[in-house]
A and B are shown apart, each in its own frame.
Chain A
Amino acid sequence: MPSPQNSAAALEELKEKLGIGADKTHAAIGSFETPEALVEAGKKIYAMGYRKLDAMSPFPVHGIDDAIGIPRSILGWIVICFGLLGLFTAQGLMYYVGVVNYPLIIGGKPLFDFTFTVPVTFELTVLFSGISATIGIFALNGLPQLYHPTMKYKQFHRASDDRFLLVVDADDPKFNAEKTSADLKSLGAQDVEVVVG
């Protein structure tokens, strides 16, 4: 049985793991008014040596990935694997049903043949790929995750409206609350804030 002390300790440990808590510095965030300004600032802050960067914007800003060094998505590879799984599932299913489990001669047609399996195989390939793509988008982003420390940023709601936020993670080796805030300000960021929590 876990004692109350133990569970409190476990909770602390969990908070530590998730990187949340009252005294945890999470990131420094600044906001920009246009996507161009964000990309420009992203390039400059990357040049300053910061590596753990992120941006938040109401729509995908083109060029920001390259500016702050975010690699390409691996989603395509995942989807290909699941698509192939769908293809083999369909072929296996129709072979098992037609030849092994329930052989039934209808109109003298073969029990299994590549040609008549094309439509179902195609549909299942698309189905498996589509489901894996959708789940993949969210799973790769670590969603659903209803709370995130950056949501504490006072202008966070603008990121889904009309502002473009640049985030420097506190895990960045170069991160220093005052220095990083000053750097963000020097790039023209407004409402610079160090998010704690």
Chain B
Amino acid sequence: MSVVVRQDPQLLGVNPPLIQGGKDFRDVTNDISSITEAKVFETPMKYWIALACTGSVLALLGAMLAYLVANGVGVWGNNRPVGWAWDITNFVFWIGIGHAGTLISAILFLFRQKWRTSINRSAEAMTLFAVMCAGIFPLFHTGRPWRAAYWLFPIPNTDLNMWQNFRSPLIWDVFAVSTYLTISALFWFTGLVPDLATLRDRATGKVKQVVLGFFALGWRGSAKHWRNYEAGYMILAGLSTPLVLSVHSVVSFDFATSVIPGWHTTIFPPYFVAGAVFSGFAMVMTLLIICRYLLNLDNYITIKHLENMNKIILVTGSIVGYAYCTEFFIAWYSGNPYERFTFFNRAFGPYWWAYWMMMTCNVISPQFYWSKTLRRSIPFMFVMSIVVNIGMWFERFVIIATSLHRDFLPSSWGYFRPTWVDISTFIGTFGLFLTMFLLFARFLPMIAMSEVKGVLAHEKHAFAAPGTNQESHEEAPKHA
């Protein structure tokens, strides 16, 4: 019996329980709910200080966007020959971040990876906020975001009397990203409902009861409910899996379907998807290490969860490194002089520093994770998660800016420099992202209680109910 085998102390070291600290169902409810139920003055001061900081950065974003609307898109540094620059770099960067959330919640669910339950809620929330940040850039690049709906979506109108060009990958992108945001939000909310019901049943104040009762939709955890819920959850996971692969593939079509050397390659879709998962996992890592520390979630987000994530970072980082090499090889092997020049120029041209930054952060740094000690060292992985995201931002910048800045005609070569508005807007999106995440971590259950309890029930040894499982604890040494 697997339950008994797991109690062998030697095997326990190899395959420890996913939830530490001998928690039972009641402990899970209390530990997770108490974070959201804490009174304002009970929340640590460091939380409010952090929120004030991120809120200020969010205000910077608001100011920068207002400045852009007032003055026009010219306040960004995009100009010939680099017509797409930081805006689309940031867009791809943020969309990529989001992909880890869907990977954790959907793909790992389909693969029955039980360790996902401690981290899926926060990763999904992160997806939502990252996609919001991403959406800001194309939306404001239109210059008139309040009219953008007519340009982006096929809404019959007398305003323009035109339709979108469905042969353009940019319109595919609109559909991909808006579908992604919608489905991620629905998936996240569906998972949240049983936990909101838990909070509703624990709520003390009238206002809390009404608000939570409203959002819990009257969930009772009936077997009939769970039957439809599980079917629906499986369907949503099954839909999200191809969806997440399609989103970054479509994002890469924005480049791959053009005829610019350095962009026009068939390797882009898988390479973009791997890069997205790579950067997204790094971002989940950064956020979880902070939350784990601030909210005392060590027993739920264990070293095993973090190590598994580092393994995924190692795999996807290696895929990304392999893709860089393939790209370079094909540029040489194609015999196309423009293609060859672009790649030579990337590594040794004026943007050499960006290229080597990308190579160091994305190809070399994840290789440290072959070492188990480093994979399990929290300070190391925290630094590494940030390094990876720096590298992945540079990857998008390198692909976009270096391919554009020296095109076919040397007379129109140029060098892109971001303006202060470019830089402040990008920093500002971190304000939006972190503010939303902090609010989420404080006011909603950050760990999916119902799912963690399901895992606990599975790992019976961690669940010591009177009478039933006590015996198996005692029996264990005999079997071992």
Contacts and interface: CB of A to CB of B under 8 A. Distances in A.
Interface of A: 33-37, 54-61, 64-65, 68, 70, 72-73, 75-76, 79, 93-94, 97-98, 101-102, 104, 106-107, 109, 116-117, 119-120, 122-124, 126-127, 129-131, 133-134, 136-138, 140-141, 143-148, 150-151, 156-157, 159-162, 167
A123 B175 contact: yes
8 shortest interchain CB distances as A-B pairs: A162-B25, A137-B232, A73-B231, A157-B201, A119-B172, A60-B226, A144-B217, A55-B223
Given A36-B468, A58-B221, A162 B231 contact: no
19 contacts: A58-B25, A59-B451, A59-B454, A60-B230, A76-B231, A79-B235, A123-B175, A123-B243, A126-B239, A127-B179, A134-B187, A141-B225, A144-B217, A145-B217, A145-B218, A146-B213, A146-B217, A161-B25, A161-B198
Interface in B25-40: 25-26, 29
Nearest to B186: A134
A109 B169 CA distance: 14
Nearest to A162: B25
B465 interface: yes
A120 B175 contact: yes
B229 A104 contact: no
Size class of the B contact interface (CB-based, 8 Å): 35 or more
B228 A137 contact: yes
A159 B226 CA distance: 13
Contacts of A157: 201-202
Contacts of A76: 231, 235
Interface stretch (B88-96, B159-167, B285-293): B159-167
A161 B224 contact: no
A98 B166 contact: yes
B226 to A, nearest CB: 4
Contacts, number: 203
Interface of B: 24-26, 29, 154, 162-167, 169, 171-172, 175-176, 179, 182-183, 186-187, 189-190, 193-194, 197-198, 200-202, 213-214, 217-233, 235-236, 239-240, 242-243, 246, 250, 253, 449-451, 453-454, 457, 463, 465-466, 468-469
B26 to A, nearest CB: 4
Contacts of A94: 166
A129 B238 CA distance: 11
A123 B249 CA distance: 12
A57 B226 contact: yes
A123 B246 contact: yes
A167 B219 CA distance: 16
Nearest to A143: B217
Contacts of A104: 165
Contacts of B451: 59
A172 to B, nearest CB: 15
